[in-house]
Amino acid sequence: MNSRFPRIASDSTEIHIQGGNQVCDVAKQAAGAVALQEQKILDTEDLLELCIRTEEYCSAFKKFEFFQIVDATDNFSENRNVGCGGFATIYKEPLQGQLPNGLMVAIKRMDVYATVFDFSSEFLLARLQHTNLIRLLGWCIHEKERILVYDFMHKGNLHWHIWETLVHLILDKRNGSLLDWSKRLNIIKGLADGLVYLHKQSMLWIVHRDLKPQNILLDHDMNPKITDFGSARTLSSDVAEERTSSVVGTSGYKAPEYTSRGIYSLKTDVFSFGVMALMIISGRKNTIMEQQGDSVGTLVRDAWQLWNDGRLHELVDPILGGDGFEPAEVMRYAQVALLCAQEDPTDRPTMSDVVALLNFESISLLPDPKQPSDLIKGGAASDKLCTYVSQSSRTIDITITSSAPMSTRVHIIVEPET
């Protein structure tokens, strides 16, 4: 463990969902039934037994009948489809429908390519109850159908609020749900609290492995909820490392050691948190320039350079207009994010450390983030979406590049209205 970051202690047709605030206190032996080894795949009978056993342990986790799911989704109508990904399709149940008390829920239907493990990994959520984690309400297994039911988050995901809103503002001048500075800080704090719970307070040492803006949902009050636990794994201790031959996750948010060697630990999530915090502050994406030997991404590198030049306050998303935040506060949050996004996992703080560091009043108490390793000169440019935000002119410059012919490339520069 890195000595610079000392350990910081942390203090039926009708279904009735109850125990919403109850914490499911399940023994570790029971948790082991869900914390499967990657190589082990349960058959349907074993999975059904797991569902029933989990329901016995957690009173808030209930079985839904298949006809209820079919009625609620209008037989899985495209009109109820609100998203796809991760071997599943998500459906939204309307406020007045077939499910209990008109509860608004999201229904996750696993597709034919999903393994039973993809399904059972999500069962970790049945045991976890925290204000910054999505709540898993129940399950349904019917023939080949494997379905999970969650709370529905009305404000959508973080990716939309940070990125899609910006695109709408650029292209058609519509007013989006702009995240002001206080909301952004609240999201960063909420994510940190949720990860502390996963890594330490749940006593299961859970590593999410796929933290990204699309997997952060927002409730009515814009509080963040970590979701999509299909890739989550439990560890034997809070300092354990495991290796996998099947690396999951999204480029730009995956830790370097996980991307290159398949090694994951709690510090894997810490890296992803650091990148997301920088993205929330800046409104920028993090592009990995693979051909140039990049392991942390353009956003992390640019943020480190601003920190080194004493200009870290310039990282703030210009769409905020320069109001509503203190430069010292920006520098503290951004510097903590840089500490989290360091290449070597031993240089990263734990999430308990992060919460403590965010509460420091002076950045002079913070360690210095190490400089990212040099890029390979002359490497090919990355064929990915790149974003650059000019801080001085308040010009939003988006360049979309690909391996397609030059005629298909787009370059948009839009000056803000005066």
Active site residues: 210
Q: What is the largest CA-CA distance in the chain?
A: 66
CB 107 within 8 A of CB 82: no
φ/ψ of residue 405, rounded to 5: -55, 155
DSSP string covering 19-53, please?
Answer: -TT------HHHHHHHS--TT----HHHHHHHHHH
How many angstroms separate the CA atoms of 395 and 390, rounded? 6
Residue with tokens 């790149």: 386
Question: Which residues have a Cβ under 8 Å from the Cβ of 179 and sit 6 or more positions away?
Answer: 161, 162, 165, 187, 222, 280
φ/ψ of residue 109, rounded to 5: -105, 110
**In 130-173, beta strands by DSSP E:** 136-142, 145-151
Structure tokens at 213: 């803006």
Question: Which residues have a Cβ under 8 Å from the Cβ of 304 and sit 6 or more positions away?
Answer: 338, 369, 371, 372
Task: Give the up-direction half-sphere exposure of residue 34: CA atoms within 13 A in the CB hemisphere.
Answer: 30
Task: Please name which of 67, 82, 13, 23 lies closest in space to residue 204, comparing C-alpha atoms.
Answer: 23
φ/ψ of residue 358, rounded to 5: -65, -25
- Cα–Cα–Cα angle for 54, 56, 60, rounded to 5 degrees: 80
Percent helix, strand and coil across the chain, each to the nearest 5: 40, 15, 45
CB 153 within 8 A of CB 218: yes
Measured between alpha carbons, how far apart are the two ends of the chain, in Å? Answer: 52
Task: Give the up-direction half-sphere exposure of residue 352: CA atoms within 13 A in the CB hemisphere.
Answer: 16
Residue with tokens 């903590």: 336
How many angstroms separate the CA atoms of 147 and 114, rounded? 11
CB 141 within 8 A of CB 42: no
